[in-house]
Structure formats: structure tokens, C-alpha cells
């Protein structure tokens, strides 16, 4: 489509009667392939400083301009500040097509002086003797910077200062309303990008200082960042503070997001990525100390305060201890939890507490209150999915206590073992313990009592899985009531049945048969009765206490000797 505009009449020449801030009436004729156009057209009107190329000072978009038999009329409300007396040119784009040549805007004599002499409305600019430029507006935007070239890094507004004063600023934004309901911002940055790149506000400090600093002297937020999908507040510094917020009665740093990262901060060694101090509730949060990636404190001793609370769609808190470094005393801890001390007055202490909730309805779900996994590497490394330990001079101690069923999908090893129940004769005041039966083989034992038939024998029926589960059968027979010297096993197990004979008809016999497990789990994890300790374990003990030795001689995870 080939467009062309012919100017009919125009008020584009500024005259003394045109009040500052008044719109310009522009009339034109639009030709489409040589014919007068009719319909609705999207148009953009540029003001430039040159007949060709140059810089566009402002543009105005007007959609659905009504064109009738080629003719149209629009109101163009350009900023008065761009008409300084220098030549100005109008360029028009129709449906994205730039129409050339540009049209020169002419001035009525003294029109620029008239703008200043008239009763100043909006906007107006004054340059004082101190080279200070004041731009003031009662109803519009007093100062606007617009960089139109999409391929260059030119800023829309550039602010610089050579001052070394503590309050000097390249750009200072201040919202002067003192209303407690005012939603105004001292500085506000918006990016319209649809991806993860770009930022509404970016602060960079190339030294050891602060990338972005926010100070609230009232009840608001020092720094507030909100995003639906990107990063609310991003602070990056090589060795200083990524984001620093201080509030005497509000929020030092606040950031919220719907799907991604509320606050993201990166810092060098020994500095704080995020540091926030909330003065009224004695709570702090800061990150990047030499010892800890993040620290949170809540000093409300008598309350139910939480030092750090996190809520996420998949993971509430994710903590990772880096793997760099090497040494026999070097420890890496992903999450460490502590509760209480020797002077604590509470009744319950949880170093780490986990709770998982299954939905009331909704099929077969699985919930893990605490899930621990560890991966072992090559060689003689040791891995613990969950490790529990207690220590101290007295009291009741359990390295692990389970209220409910426990299943081990693997080999269970122990130093000793018992069952422990309420004593059947005095359950309120006593307990009863029995030791487990131990064997170097994985044995299954089956027993019972049978009454012999009329010929002094009996068939013993075993479970239908007996021969599949067991091998290498062993038998034991004990007569009840009188000796039976000729009692014997006449037929061994066949078809999960064996027979005894040689007894007295009508007498009772106690029988027992055992077998060695041959199921896949047992064959996959056989019992190795005797084996050498690994070289790094020699000189150490599974149970050093039993030998009168301290915990430093333990094979498994000696207790920490310092905090």
C-alpha cells in the first residue's frame, strides 16, 4: 500500500495567541495509491530536530483516525518545552509506513517569548544563575527523557554528579506528600519486557559499596520489589552489599513474587548479599557472612516467633552447602537445626522438625515428615541417609525413636537388641525386656504341637511358601508326657509337608523345623559373618563405650567437640 499525505490546513505554526500546553490542530489529506482514502487508520506523529535523520524529540500515537474522502483532522498535544525556537519538523507514520518528506513547523513572531511571558501553566522550564534547571508541571510531566533508537544503550535520562558528599546523588527522586495513605514512589522503574531479561530498577556499585540502598524513615518500605514472574529485587556487588535496606518502623527490604524469585542477591566472600534490620520487633535477616550463607534471628523469647519463614509452591527452603575444599576436618552441612541451651526454660526442643500432610481425599498419596538421602562415591566412602545420635551424662536417650511401624528395605545390623513392653504383671510401674535370638545364618523357625494318630505318627503341614522361602531344613522333636525313644522324622519336607513316626498313639509331640532363607532379598544381601575393617576404620570401634573408650574412637560419626 502506497500512502501519501497532502497538507490542507494546519495550525502547526505556533502563534502568540496559542497558550502553552494547548493542543495543535492538524488537518491533512491522505491518498492511498493515488486515491483519496476512506476508513480508520493508525497514525504516529513525530517531532524531530532535522529535515532528515536527526533526533526525534517526541511522538504521539493516535489509533483509528477517521479518514473521509481523504480528509482527516487530529489534535496533537506536544510538550511546549521542545519548541525552543530552533527548527522543528513533523514526520507522520501511517499503519507503520513513514511518509516523507517531513514538514517544517514555522513560528509566528515572538511566539516563544509569548510562551514565557504568558501566565505559566504546564510545563515550564527555568535556568537559574547557578545552572540549575527547574522543570515544573501542575498537571503533566515536567521533564521527560526518551531514547528512541532500539539498538543503542543510550539512557532515557542521565544523571551525574562529581560530588563526594554523603548525600550526593546522580539522580534523586522524592515523593513530597506526607499523607499516610499516599501510594507515591520517590523513584519508580518499569520494564515492559516479557522475558527474564531487564529490570525495573538496576543498581550497580563497581567498588565495595552498595548496589541499591533504601531507607524508610516512617512506616513504609526501604526497598520494595514486586514481580509476577521475574525478580522482585536484584542486587549484585563484587565485595559490598547487594541490597541494603534500613527501616526504623517499617520494612527494611521487601520483595514478593508469584512464581519465581522474591529476592535474589549475589555477593563476594565475607560480605552480606542481603542485610535487613527491622527496628521494632528485634528481628534480623542477613546473608553472606563468612560462616553462614544466611542467618535469621527472632528474639521474642516469650512468644512463638519464627526467625525465618519460607513458603513455596514446591520447596519452602532450599539450602546447599558447596562441595569445594578438601580436608579431614572439613564438614559440609546443607541444613543445620538447633534448639535450646543449658539455660532454656521450655519443655520441648526440636533441632529439626518436619511435618507432611496428605490430602483428606484424592487417592493413594505419600507424605514424608522427614526424608533423608545420601549418595556414596567410589572407594570406601560411607553414606548415611539419616543419622541420629544422643550424648550427655544422664537421662533417657534415643538416637532414634519411632511411634509406629518401621520397615527396613535392606540389612539391619545392631550391637544388641531387645523387645521392651509394659510389664504384663505391673504395666503401670514396670517394663519387661527380652533379648533377640541371634544366629550367623538368616534362619526362619517354625514350631507347633501335634497329637499322634492311631499308628503313632503325624503329617506336619507347613505354610505353602515354606519351600520357596527356605532351604537346608533342620528338625527337632520333643515328646510330651512320656518318653518316646523311637520317635523320628520319617519323611522330610516335600510339598511343604513332613511326617513323623515311631511314637505312641494319642500322645502329643512338640516339633520345630528351621530353614535358611533363600529369597532374592536374602541372596542379594548375605550375612558376611567375619570381615576385616576398612583401613581407615582400624583402631576404631562400632561401640567404643563397651570397651571403656571415648567417642573419639568411634567408627561412625564421632560427636562434635565444639559448636
Window from 154-168, 204-218, 342-356, 358-372 with minimum mean pLDDT: 204-218
- Please tell me the predicted confidence (pLDDT) of residue 279: 40
Which has more confidence, 421 or 211? 421
pLDDT winner (highest mean) among 54-63, 127-136, 169-178, 325-334 = 54-63
Grade residue 62 by pLDDT with cuts at 50, 70 and 90: very high
φ and ψ at 520, to 5 degrees? -55, -35
- pLDDT recorded at residue 273: 53
Here the cell at position 384 is 548415611
List pLDDT tens digits, range 530-539.
999 888 889 9
Angle, vertex CA 28, rays to CA 26 and CA 29, nearest 5: 165
Domains of the chain: 3-117 (2.60.40.1930), 214-298 (no CATH), 443-524 (2.60.40), 532-563 (no CATH)
Q: Examine the pLDDT at 459 and tell me if it is beyond 90.
A: yes
The answer to whether the CB of 518 falls within 8 A of the CB of 470 is yes
Q: Longest C-alpha distance within the chain, in Å?
A: 141
Digit-coded pLDDT (tens) for 500-528: 999 999 999 999 999 999 999 999 989 99
At which residue does the C-alpha cell 562529581 appear?
162
Banded model confidence at residue 241, pLDDT cuts 50, 70, 90: low
Strands annotated E in 352-451: 418-422, 431-435, 443-451
Residues 256 and 285: their CA atoms lie apart, in Å, by 16
Q: Distance (Å, rounded) from C-alpha 68 to C-alpha 30?
A: 9
pLDDT at 53 exceeding the cut of 80:
no
Cis amide linkage into residue 177, ω under 30° from 0:
no
Tell me: pLDDT of 46 over 80: yes
Q: How does pLDDT run across 90-110, given as a tens digit for each residue?
A: 889 998 888 878 888 765 433
Task: Classify the C-alpha dihedral 417-423-427-430 as positive or negative.
Answer: negative
In 341-484, which residue ranges form alpha helices assigned H by DSSP?
A: 466-469
Query: Do the Cβ atoms of 297 and 310 come closer than 8 Å?
Result: no
Distances (CA, A) of 110 to 22, 84, 116, 357: 17, 12, 10, 79
How open is the CA angle 87-93-95, to the nearest 5 degrees?
Answer: 170
User: Mean pLDDT, the chain, as a whole number?
Assistant: 76
- Asked if pLDDT for residue 118 goes beyond 60, the answer is no
Q: How confident is the model at residue 258 (pLDDT cuts 50, 70, 90)?
A: low
Q: Given this model, what pLDDT does residue 466 score?
A: 96
pLDDT for position 342: 78
260 pLDDT exceeds 60? no
The set of cell numbers assigned to 524 is 542379594
Which range has the worst mean pLDDT, 326-335, 365-374, 497-506? Answer: 326-335
Amino acid at each position: 500500500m502506497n500512502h501519501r499525505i497532502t497538507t490542507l490546513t494546519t495550525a502547526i505554526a505556533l502563534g502568540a495567541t496559542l497558550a502553552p500546553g494547548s493542543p495543535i490542530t492538524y488537518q491533512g489529506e491522505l491518498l492511498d495509491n493515488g486515491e483519496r482514502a476512506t476508513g480508520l487508520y493508525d497514525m504516529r506523529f513525530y517531532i524531530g530536530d532535522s529535515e532528515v535523520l536527526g533526533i526525534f524529540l517526541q511522538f504521539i500515537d493516535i489509533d483509528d483516525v477517521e479518514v473521509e474522502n481523504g480528509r482527516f483532522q487530529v489534535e496533537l498535544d506536544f510538550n511546549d518545552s521542545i519548541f525552543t525556537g530552533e527548527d522543528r519538523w513533523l514526520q507522520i507514520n501511517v499503519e507503520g509506513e513513514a511518509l516523507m518528506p517531513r514538514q517544517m513547523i514555522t513560528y509566528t513572531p515572538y511566539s516563544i517569548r509569548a510562551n514565557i511571558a504568558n501566565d505559566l501553566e504546564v510545563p515550564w522550564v527555568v535556568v537559574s544563575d547557578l545552572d540549575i534547571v527547574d522543570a515544573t508541571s501542575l498537571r503533566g510531566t515536567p521533564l521527560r527523557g526518551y531514547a528512541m533508537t532500539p539498538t543503542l544503550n543510550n539512557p532515557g535520562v542521565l544523571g551525574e554528579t562529581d560530588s563526594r558528599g554523603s548525600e550526593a546523588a546522580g539522580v534523586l527522586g522524592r515523593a513530597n506528600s506526607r499523607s499516610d495513605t499516599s501510594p507515591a514512589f520517590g523513584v519508580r522503574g518499569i520494564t515492559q519486557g516479557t522475558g527474564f531479561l531487564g529490570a525495573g530498577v538496576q543498581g550497580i556499585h563497581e567498588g565495595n559499596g552498595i548496589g541499591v540502598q533504601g531507607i524508610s524513615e516512617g512506616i513504609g518500605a526501604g526497598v520494595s520489589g514486586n514481580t509476577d514472574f521475574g525478580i522482585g529485587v536484584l542486587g549484585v556487588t563484587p565485595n559490598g552489599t547487594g541490597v541494603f535496606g534500613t527501616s526504623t518502623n517499617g520494612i527494611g527490604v521487601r520483595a514478593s513474587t508469584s512464581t519465581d524469585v522474591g529476592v535474589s542477591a549475589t555477593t563476594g566472600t565475607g560480605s552480606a548479599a542481603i542485610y535487613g534490620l527491622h527496628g521494632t520487633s528485634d528481628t534480623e535477616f542477613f546473608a553472606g557472612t563468612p560462616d553462614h550463607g544466611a542467618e535469621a534471628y527472632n528474639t521474642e523469647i516469650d512468644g512463638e516467633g519464627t526467625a525465618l519463614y519460607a513458603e513455596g509452591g514446591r520447596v519452602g527452603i532450599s539450602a546447599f552447602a558447596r562441595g569445594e575444599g578438601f580436608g579431614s576436618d572439613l564438614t559440609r552441612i546443607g541444613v543445620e537445626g538447633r534448639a535450646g541451651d543449658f539455660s532454656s526454660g521450655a519443655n520441648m526442643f526440636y533441632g529439626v522438625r518436619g511435618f507432611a500432610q496428605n490430602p483428606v481425599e484424592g487417592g493413594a498419596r505419600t507424605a514424608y515428615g522427614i526424608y533423608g538421602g545420601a549418595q556414596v562415591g567410589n572407594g570406601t566412602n560411607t553414606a548415611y541417609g539419616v543419622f541420629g545420635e544422643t550424648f550427655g551424662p544422664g537421662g533417657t536417650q534415643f538416637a532414634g525413636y519411632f511411634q509406629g511401624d518401621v520397615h527396613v528395605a535392606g540389612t539391619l545390623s545392631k550391637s544388641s537388641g531387645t523387645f521392651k513392653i509394659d510389664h504384663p504383671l505391673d504395666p503401670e510401674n514396670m517394663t519387661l525386656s527380652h533379648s533377640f535370638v541371634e544366629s550367623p545364618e538368616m534362619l526362619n523357625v517354625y514350631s507347633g504341637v501335634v497329637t499322634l494318630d492311631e499308628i503313632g505318627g503325624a503329617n506336619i503341614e507347613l505354610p505353602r511358601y515354606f519351600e520357596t522361602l527356605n532351604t537346608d531344613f533342620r528338625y527337632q522333636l520333643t515328646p510330651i508326657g512320656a518318653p518316646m525313644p523311637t520317635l523320628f522324622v520319617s519323611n522330610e519336607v516335600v510339598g511343604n509337608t513332613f511326617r513323623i513316626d515311631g511314637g505312641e498313639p494319642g500322645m502329643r509331640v512338640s516339633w520345630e523345623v528351621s530353614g535358611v532363607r533363600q529369597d532374592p532379598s536374602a541372596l542379594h544381601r548375605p550375612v558376611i559373618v567375619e570381615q576385616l575393617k576398612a583401613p581407615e576404620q582400624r583402631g576404631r570401634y562400632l561401640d567404643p563405650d563397651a570397651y571403656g573408650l571415648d567417642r573419639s574412637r568411634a567408627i561412625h560419626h564421632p560427636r562434635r567437640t565444639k559448636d
